[in-house]
Amino acid sequence: MKTLANGVLAASFLIASLTIAQSGALAGDPAFGPAFGDVSLDRVRNAAAEPGQWFTGGRDAQGTYFSPLTQINADTVSRLGFAWALPTGSTRGLESTPIVVDGVMYTSSTWGDVFAADAVTGRLLWRFDAGNDGKAGRNACCDIVNRGVAVRGGQVFVGTLDGRMVALDAHTGKTNWSVDSIVDHAIPYTITGAPQLTRDAVVIGNGGADMGAYGSRGYVTAFDLKTGKMKWRFYTVPKKGDPNQPPELIAAEKTWDPDRSDHIRGGGTVWDGMSYDPELNLLYLGVGNSSPYQRFDRSPKGGDNLYISSMVAVNPDTGQMVWHYQTTPGDNWDFTAVQKMILADLTIDGHVRKVIMQAPKNGFFYVLDRATGKPISANNYVHVNWTKGLDANFKPIPNPDAVDYEKSPKLVYPSWAGGHSWQPMSYSPQTGLVYIPVREAANLIVDLQHNPGSKIGYVDGFFKTGMVIPDKDYNKADYEGLWGNIPDFKELSDKSKSPQQSILRAWDPVHQRKVWDQVTTRDYFAIDGGVMSTASGLVFEGLADGELRVSDARTGQILKSIQTGSAMMAAPMTYMIGGVQYVAIMAGYGGTTIGMTYPDSTAPAHYLNEGRIIVFKLGGGTVPTPPARHTPPFPAPTPQAATSATIQRGSQLFASNCSRCHQFGVGLVPDLRRMDDGTADPVLFRRIVLEGLLAQAGMGRFDDMVKPSEVDAIHAYLIDEGRKAYEAEHKPS
């Protein structure tokens, strides 16, 4: 505990020191524009006229993650190197894509912290500390991440993990206004997504649908840009038995079981992807999964359960729904549709169509008419087995072999991580291709409550299913002790094939077909980063093994590879100042990999996961790596008198309550088998778990979920596992 706590304090001190040392009076500084954050809707709509700027998370109003810059190209990319870096003081996942306007970079870190920096030198101009809420950290199903800021009219907008929508002065970082967007803090709501701007409002959604049987009820809220006053709120799923709901929710209620439990809130959170078309004045929402995942629990009589796992268009002035399209009716597998959406004008069958494109988790690539929501085309971009295909109305045809996992575990393609998750894809109008960071993997899914022989049961506030992505070493015996009967799977019998891999896939959205593939990670669970493309015919992607990779946009040939020592999940971006083109990316691992461990061959296993912004330019140097990771031997066993029954009980409690984040091995969070002088003390261990002693590091308090005696059983189990690891390490060769 001493090492962890000191590390957190040291990181906080570093950022505070940088802020004090490098901030100062900036007015009139010739390095920057006449006003900080001077972004208007017109500038965003005409982004092509200012190729050196990066106005939004996706650069432009269409969210293409495409840049017109060409200085870095196939002939010059070999000279790409390190320009500068700025530490964020974080040791968890970084998922934001920076925005650069008039020489200033704005970006976010964990908890919703915001940084403003000189985009040429990396000099820190100011930092906004969002504060860290231990309970919010626990409620975040997939790390204390934040996916970005929005900039408009001299203000920087960010959503904080604990649910606040904040407007900051782009010049000073001071808070102009701050409002609480959460309707009920007793429900596990969080904010991890980036806000979306319309003509006069900032819109934010929330997360929380994954957290247990009752989870949250999704909604988005629109706030006035200048004052923070709420303009409207749109709920994505109906409230049972409420006759005063808007017409779209009255209609949605017919797709849910009217006799469902009063406690089922439904889920459908908008935790990431949104888009806005200023020409049509439509706001597009990507709606997430249900809560709980199993339809036979949340809606026993079935139904499509609108508007979970859907794309929904609303009027941004009133919050009224205009159209919807559901990608996964009755979602049973966590197939969210919150992935980034791209607006484009495509020539299809000789006609220019205004479309919206999305590659959601369920494995299908969709092209819809963005004015009406009518599907134009769809095809699976990864292997799928949850459906037998789409019918003439583009509705999935159920596959019974993958639908009902209540009494029998199923192997489902794609996995709960999705064929594609939140990592941004990019559309190049030059090549006409979409570049998707995809995951080809299966998912073993088990109902913890109903599967015969399951010993760990179900704990509300956590996933209601057991889910694992089998790797090449999959062995059912590893899970049978806790999950009950787990079958062998023929699909995984050939160990010479990789059952899971990450791929950068170039996709033709007009003809709905794959053009080329580039395998980025193989054989272990990893989430590689988002994608950017440029007019020079390049595609950029940061990988989980610490490599920044630059490829030919037409062929997929790798043209440049830079090892940074830092795992990357976010999408890169590029900008130009003073005739120099820069490429920037947030580097820091986490998110859904919070509970995963690193293979020995990867950079994250060798370097500490210290978050930073890394910037590159032509003629730059070698990227400095983070400090080396030193994994000490297992300490000598701590004596204990716990019975075998207590240790066994601790094993079950650990699997139910702790294993979502804590795994045994080198990863993002501590390997709890490595007890030091502090955590080996059962009294101090209780305080950490029950009182949130390490909430600052992301370890919230769990006194509402486990009893002191149960914490003691978990502690006994961990000490016993530490003993086994020590004995294995010291076993005579």
- Which residues are tagged catalytic? 334
Q: Which residues contact 220 (CB under 8 A, 6 or more apart)?
A: 203, 204, 205, 233, 234, 236, 270, 274, 285
Whether residue 307 is preceded by a cis peptide bond, meaning omega within 30 degrees of 0, is yes
3-state secondary structure of 691: helix
User: Residue 135 phi/psi, 5° resolution?
Assistant: -70, -40
Pairing of strands 531-534, 66-67: parallel
Beta carbons of 159 and 167 less than 8 angstroms apart: no
Distance CA(428)–CA(327), nearest Å, equals: 24
DSSP 480-515: HHHH------GGG--TTS-SEEEEEEEEETTTTEEE
If you ran DSSP here, which 8-state letter would residue 149 be given?
-
Question: What does the alpha-carbon distance between residue 233 and residue 612 come to, in Å, rounded to a whole number?
Answer: 35
Contacts of 557 (CB under 8 A, 6+ apart): 551
How many helices (H) and strands (E) would you count in the chain? Answer: 10, 40
Contacts of 451 (CB under 8 A, 6+ apart): 406, 407, 408, 409, 466, 483, 484, 485
The residue length of the chain stands at 733
Per DSSP, the residues of 230-285 read: EEEEEESSPPTT-TTS-HHHHHHHTTS-TTS-TT--EE----S-EEEETTTTEEEE
Residue 732: asked if its preceding bond is cis (omega within 30°), the reply is no
- For 243, counting Cβ atoms within 10 Å of its Cβ (0-12 exposed, 13-18 middle, 19+ buried), the class is exposed
Residue type, position 690, single letter? L
Centroid of chain to Cα 200 = 27
For tokens 């019998």, the residue is 493
- Tell me the Ramachandran region of residue 479: left when phi exceeds 0, alpha when psi lies from -120 to 50, beta otherwise: alpha
Return the half-sphere exposure (C-beta side, CA atoms, 13 A cut-off) of residue 442.
20
Is-contact 471 499, C-beta < 8 A?
yes
CA 63/CA 148 separation, integer angstroms: 13
| H or E, element range at 10 | helix 2-22
Q: Label residue 578 exposed, middle or buried (CB < 10 Å: 0-12, 13-18, 19+).
A: exposed
As given in the structure block, the two tokens for residue 677 are 């002088």
**CA gap 518, 66 in Å, rounded:** 19
